[in-house]
A and B are shown apart, each in its own frame.
Chain A
Amino acid sequence: MSIDRRNFLKTLGVAGLTLAVGKGFGTENKQGEETEFQAMLYDSTMCVGCRGCEKACAKAHGLPEPLDELEVGVLRKTSEQRRNVINKFDTSAGEVYARNACMHCNEPACAAACLTQAMYKTKEGPVIWREDKCMGCRYCMVSCPFDVPKFEYHSANPRILKCDMCYDRIVKGEIPACAAACGDALIFGTRRELLAEARKRIVENPKDYIDHIYGEKEAGGTGVLFLSPAPYNEIGFKTGLQNTSYPELSKGFLYSVPSVFVLLPVLLLGIHEATKINRPKEEENE
């Protein structure tokens, strides 16, 4: 509901601006339709493991401040209390920090799985969760290839929790709390710009990076992109993922539904009529 209000305010703002500047409303509107996905780029080579992002995230969402220490070999996971974690890895390229949070897929499995559209891919890019719609079935958790959504198992009124790229800040024109807190390692922008930036960095410093932008193709492309000096399996990433989107997997089944729904009853009726002919005295209803 709040989104509707935001959209409404935004439209109002755009309309107001148009009136004030006096330009054609049509061009403004068209620009609105071409909204690009907002995204984030995390560059492992620049991360020093200060965990400013973790602290900023906790503060922005009213979560407890992360106090545990980073340790090589201990994989800290996101949880109901923590939406964004940094881990330390010992890799072939030395000590490397890596971030883990929602990937904000272009075509998210969680949103395709959700039967109430509680999990929702906004047109701005972030994948958000809407409390008033969710029925707590946890099918999003089953479907997410990154195991991102977390469920409050010990609550009578449980929520699904995950990073929402600070959607409330993005619609206000601000940048996510983690990116705001970080120096250079985590930057925010449109997906197109960030992809270009990531490619540029690899081309300019081929020795510092492996030639792979994680998230460019994984799961059909994600809204969070990664650069790393070491192979991704060494820094706790899932590397076997398919490059097409996950909703694609159930598309075939869903597309067959309308045909079955129309053709099967017709077939059944046909057989019913055909078998009826043999018996003049009909006793079908019993």
Chain B
Amino acid sequence: MNNTVAATARDNDGRPVWRFLLDELKPKGKWLTPFNIISIPVILLGFALIVIRFWKGIGAITNLTQEIPWGLWIGFDVVTGVAFAGGAYVLTFMVYILKMDKYHSIVRITVLNGFLAYVFYAGALLLDLGRPWNVINPIIGNSFGTSSVLFLVAWHFMLYMIAELIEFSPAIAEWLGARRARKILSAMTMGAVIFGITLSTLHQSGLGALYLMAKDKIHPLWYSEFIPILFLVSSVFAGLSMVIFEGSISHRVFFRQISEENHKAEKGILKGLSKICAGAMFAYFFLQVLVFIHDKNWNLLNTPMGYWFLVEMIGFVLLPMILFIYSYRNSNILMVRIAAILTMLGIIINRLNVTVIGFRWDASVHYVPSWMEIVVTLAVIFTEIWIFRWVINRMPVLRESPSWVREEK
């Protein structure tokens, strides 16, 4: 396949593929933008901290304790980040399985977003591993811990990254001008989509199932045997809210790349997504109410943690749900965006409540992430955005595919 890529790349541009790739690596446009000025120092500092972490141990830059062994890097980077990446499986389900063509124009950017989220946030998991050189153990099969939920999650992360890469690969082939490769890769899309949706269903819920054995450690308002289902259902609107949020920014930042037609379609897409979000949130809220009544934790409501629980449920689930319904019925795009941001905050709060805030809420020494953990997290996010921007500026993600793609159809 490499040969094909090289040959066609030369055909299209009349120069060797390595020259093409080298040119593509250079920045496009001015680079002293406000985002760059903020992100570059953070990324550099983050990488310096990562060096210290591998040199002196995890304790050198984190506030983790023997009682609270998982902190911000797992609770936010992995658990929350993967929920936000859920947009890819929901959208591929809608477009490829249900054939909702309306959303076709945003599939590529969503899959790219999801793929990079997995690479970076699951990649951040490596920072948190004390002995990362043994990470191959559960993969190569010399010691399969098949009774472990983490075993399942780890495998699914890996396989899902491959599935998403296949889903996105036609864009890479178009960028390189590899016609034959594009044809082969496109033919694999459907399989990757079906496989990807199945994997996502299992590991979105699996992330919740990780915490099932920590029954006595998580605050009873957030622990229930239904965590896996709650995590799965909430990943639907978490992912779609991310799609709305990211789409709103992309439409401004990459304005010129988007065709007139797709600009016009944006409103309809946002309305449709807000409808789906509202539906999923209603199901989620209903489930939460059922779980709450089932667990009979009424007495806990009148405690500080109980108030916090109500803030999460009413302020960050019920309220954005109503806003989504309102914005859908009144075609209010601004309200869609506000609702999406509230929903995303709600997801962050919910995932952190399960993994960090409510985890050993009764411990004598509470865990608060160190500034260094936060900087590393920001560095990971900024690096991801850099790559995201780099890809969008070069590959046909938002803009139309090259003309030869349409000719071949």
Contact = CB atoms under 8 A, between A and B. Distances in A.
Given A154-B57, A271-B98, A261 B202 contact: yes
A135 B134 contact: yes
Nearest to B63: A153
A135 B104 contact: no
Contact of A265 (B64, B194, B210): B194
A109 B186 CA distance: 44
Contact of B145 (A79, A114, A155, A284): A114
B97 A112 contact: no
Contacts of B56: 154, 156
B143 interface: yes
Contacts of A114: 145, 148
Nearest to B131: A136
B86 interface: no
Contact of A246 (B96, B201, B215): B215
Interface string A239-264: 01110001101101110010011001
Given A113-B148, A152-B57, A247 B194 contact: no
Given A114-B145, A115-B150, A264-B201, A138 B70 contact: yes
A257 B337 CA distance: 35
A156 B225 contact: no
Interface string B309-349: 00000000000000000000000000000000000000000
Interface string B170-182: 1000000000000
B77 interface: no
A59 interface: no
B130 interface: yes
Interface residues of B, number: 64
A242 B56 CA distance: 38
A133 B138 CA distance: 9
Contacts, number: 173
Contact of B198 (A147, A240, A260, A278): A260
A104 interface: no
A10 interface: no
A113 B213 CA distance: 8
Given A158-B130, A264-B198, 19 more contacts: A79-B66, A111-B147, A115-B148, A116-B138, A116-B143, A153-B59, A154-B56, A156-B55, A158-B58, A249-B213, A250-B209, A253-B205, A257-B152, A257-B202, A260-B198, A261-B202, A275-B98, A275-B99, A285-B170
Interface of B: 54-60, 62, 64, 66-67, 69-70, 93, 96-99, 104, 128-132, 134-135, 137-138, 142-145, 147-152, 154, 170, 186-187, 189-190, 194-195, 197-198, 201-202, 205-206, 209-217, 225, 228, 409
6 contacts: A115-B151, A134-B130, A145-B213, A158-B130, A272-B96, A285-B170
